[in-house]
Amino acid sequence: MSFNDVINSEKPVLVDFSAEWCGPCKMMAPVLKDIAHKYEGKISVLKVDVDKNEAAARDYSIVSVPTLIIFKKGQILWRQSGALPLNALESVVEKYL
């Protein structure tokens, strides 16, 4: 399944644009794992390494990592750069379910 197939889903998709060398990205990993577990079946969580997927990073003008974007049916519903604590990200996710 391609990236475009995933973000065009009826179900919301939280995409984490990140990089291996990024400290805040590493801090987000357990938060995203918790989100994926808590909202299993309601939202998909996808990690995209900007160094390995330069085209996707360019297409969405990713200039800093982590950048989190929620897509639904190919449309961007929400976007933010920087790490977020679990409770803040849960509040955002709840709005788009």
State the catalytic residues: 22, 25
Residue 16 near residue 47, CB atoms below 8 Å:
yes
- Reduce the DSSP state of residue 31 to 3 states and report it: helix
Give 3-state DSSP helix, strand, coil % of the chain, rounded to 5: 40, 25, 35
Residue type, 86: L
